[in-house]
Amino acid sequence: MTLFADLKKAIGTEWTDYTEHEFVRKLGEGTLPLPVFQDYLVQDYHFLVQFARANALAAYKSRKLADIKDATGALQAILHETELHRRLTARWGITEEELDAAAEKQTTVAYTRYVLDTGMSGDLLDMHVALSPCSIGYAEIGVALEPQRTRALDAGEEHPYGEWIAEYSGTEFQTAARAATERLDALTAGSVTAERFDSLVEIFRAATRLEAAFWQQALDSAD
C-alpha cells in the first residue's frame, strides 16, 4: 500500500467528508448553483497561484535534480490548470485583471498559507503531504464524477460542469496525480517510523479539513 493510501486510512471519514462533500455531490449532479461555482472558481484560481508558489518552494528545498524536475513538472501542471479557470471566467465576462484583483477569502488564505508554512518549517516530505489532498484528491474526485459527465453526453446533453470534471478525470491530471503518489513513496524510501507517520497524518488531516472548508466556503457564498 502507498503512503497516500495509509494517510487516507489514518484519517478515516475525514477523507470522504472532503471528497464526497455536498459541493462535490451537487457539482456531479449538475445541480450546483452557477454563482456558487463561480465563487469557488475565482477562489480556486487564487489557491492555485499560491499552490504554484508552494511547488516552487519544493523545487528550492530539493537537493536532488530528480526532485527539482518533479517539482517543476508539478508547477507546469498547475499553470496548465489555471488555463481552465481563465477560460471559464472569461466566458462569464470576468477579465484577467479582475480575476487577479479579486480578494482572497478567509479559508483560501488559511489553506494556502498553511501549505506554505508547512513547506517553510518542514522538509520536502512534509510539504508534499500537505499538497497531496489537492494534487491527488482532485484526481480521485474527477474519476468519481466522470460517469455522470459521460451519462449526460450519452443522453445528448451537456453537463453544466462537464469541462471541470473532464479536466480532473483527464489523462494529464491523472498522470500528475500518479506521479505525486509515487513521489511520496520515493521520499520515504519505502518506510517511515511510527512517530514520523503520526506527524505526517496530522499534516494530511489538517490539509484535508481545509479542503472540505474550501468547498463549504463556496456553498456559504449563496447565503
The residues carrying an active-site annotation are 134, 211
Q: Which three cell numbers stand for residue 3?
A: 503512503
- Quickly list H helices, 62-170: 65-91, 96-101, 106-121, 124-135, 137-154, 162-169
Q: Which residue shows C-alpha cell 489555471?
A: 82
CA atoms lying within 13 Å on the CB side of residue 94: 17
The DSSP secondary-structure symbol of 189 reads: T
Show Cβ contacts of residue 8 under 8 Å, excluding neighbours closer than 6 positions.
15
Q: Which residue shows C-alpha cell 462535490?
A: 24
